[in-house]
């Protein structure tokens, strides 16, 4: 689940529930030092690609990355004890969020936060159409195959394995080759539209009329033409490709 659309959804949910409030910040598991943030006012929560940044008054930022396995639990019963293994618990006036099994949860000073953001490419949910030209040029300039380039967070921020499979299918592009600037711009447009749909739906959406369906991702056959889907490891992740519809 944790690709950019999911992280932007977490940011929105937590911003609406907690921003502007003085939070109780704890680490029931003990693996996160919550003291610098406990009792401080949360100004904002923002997603940058797959990263979450929490801005506090008079404290560093908190940086969260869910990795493959991280997730949040939400409750409106503030008396409920956090489940075991909760790395960070953020409690406001009416809601509490528990962070479980993240790959990163740490304080970040302003310089480190700026460095993190500077190392990320454009995020389709953050710059949208305004970032189209720069995003297309960055992706097309990469020497890597487009299937590897799309997963490189310094080129574009927020695309993961499921979006890679589905966006390349929608664009009709074979992941093993490179792309022109025009093809990269088409991929960007597809990403902007579909990640937005995914943000609202809370899942990957590659067909607005069938939000629960996928074209090739984890499928034995292509949903459009029925051809057997080819799958193999590309850039460390399993690629799913229709050999007929993607050239």
Partner DNA sequence: CGGTCATGCTCAA
Partner DNA sequence: TGAGCCTGACCGG
Q: For the chain, percent helix, then strand, then coil, each to nearest 5?
A: 30, 25, 45
**Does residue 160 sit in helix, strand or coil?**
coil
User: Does the annotation count 3 as an active-site position?
Assistant: yes
**Phi, psi (rounded to 5 degrees) for 47:** -100, 135
Q: Which of 238, 70, 74 is nearest to 162 (CA)?
A: 238
User: For DNA, what does the binding mask look like between residues 71 and 110, x meaning CB under 7 A?
Assistant: x-------------x--------------xx-x-------
Cα–Cα distance measured from residue 165 to residue 161, given in angstroms and rounded to the nearest whole number: 6
Rounded CA-CA distance 105/137 in Å is 33
Cα dist from 177 to 134, 144, 168, 170, 227, whole Å: 20, 8, 11, 16, 20
Q: DSSP class of residue 92?
A: -
| Window contacting DNA (CB under 7 A); options: 122-130, 159-167, 176-184, 219-227 | 159-167
Q: Is 237 a catalytic residue?
A: yes
- The span from the CA of 114 to the CA of 118, in Å, is 6
Q: Map residues 215-244 to x or -, x wherever contact with DNA holds by CB under 7 A.
A: ---x-----------------xxx------
Catalytic residue among 126, 196, 219, 237: 237
| Nearer Cβ to DNA (42/191) | 191
* Candidate list 9, 50, 89, 113, residue with the active-site label: 50
Query: Does the annotation count 213 as an active-site position?
Result: no
Closest separation in Å from C-beta 203 to DNA:
6
1 interacts with DNA by CB under 7 A:
yes
Tell the smallest beta-carbon distance from residue 204 to DNA (Å).
Answer: 5
**Which residues participate in catalysis according to the annotation?**
2-3, 50, 237
Binding site for DNA (CB under 7 A): 1-3, 6, 49-50, 65, 67-69, 71, 85, 100-101, 103, 151, 153, 160-162, 203-204, 218, 236-238
């Amino acid at each position: 689940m944790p690709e950019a659309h999911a992280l932007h959804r977490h940011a929105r949910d937590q911003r609406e529930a907690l921003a502007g409030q003085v939070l109780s910040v704890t680490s029931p598991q003990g693996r996160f030092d919550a003291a610098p943030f406990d009792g401080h006012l949360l100004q904002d929560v923002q997603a940058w690609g797959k990263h979450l940044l929490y801005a506090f008054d008079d404290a560093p930022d908190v940086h969260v990355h869910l990795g493959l396995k991280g997730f949040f639990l939400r409750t409106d019963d503030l008396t409920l004890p956090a489940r075991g293994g909760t790395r960070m618990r953020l409690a406001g006036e009416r809601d509490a969020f528990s962070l479980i099994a993240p790959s990163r949860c740490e304080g970040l000073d302003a310089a480190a936060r700026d460095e993190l953001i500077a190392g990320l490419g454009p995020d389709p949910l953050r710059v949208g159409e305004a970032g189209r030209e720069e995003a297309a040029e960055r992706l097309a300039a990469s020497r890597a195959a487009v299937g590897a380039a799309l997963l490189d967070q310094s080129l574009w921020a927020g695309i993961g394995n499921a979006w890679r499979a589905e966006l390349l299918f929608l664009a009709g592009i074979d992941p093993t080759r490179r792309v022109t600037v025009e093809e990269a711009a088409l991929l960007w447009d597809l990403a902007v539209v579909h990640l937005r749909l995914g943000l609202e739906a809370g899942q990957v959406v590659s067909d607005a009329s069938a939000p629960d369906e996928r074209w090739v991702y984890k499928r034995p056959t292509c949903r459009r033409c029925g051809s057997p889907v080819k799958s193999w490891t590309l850039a460390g992740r399993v690629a799913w490709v229709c050999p007929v519809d993607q050239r």
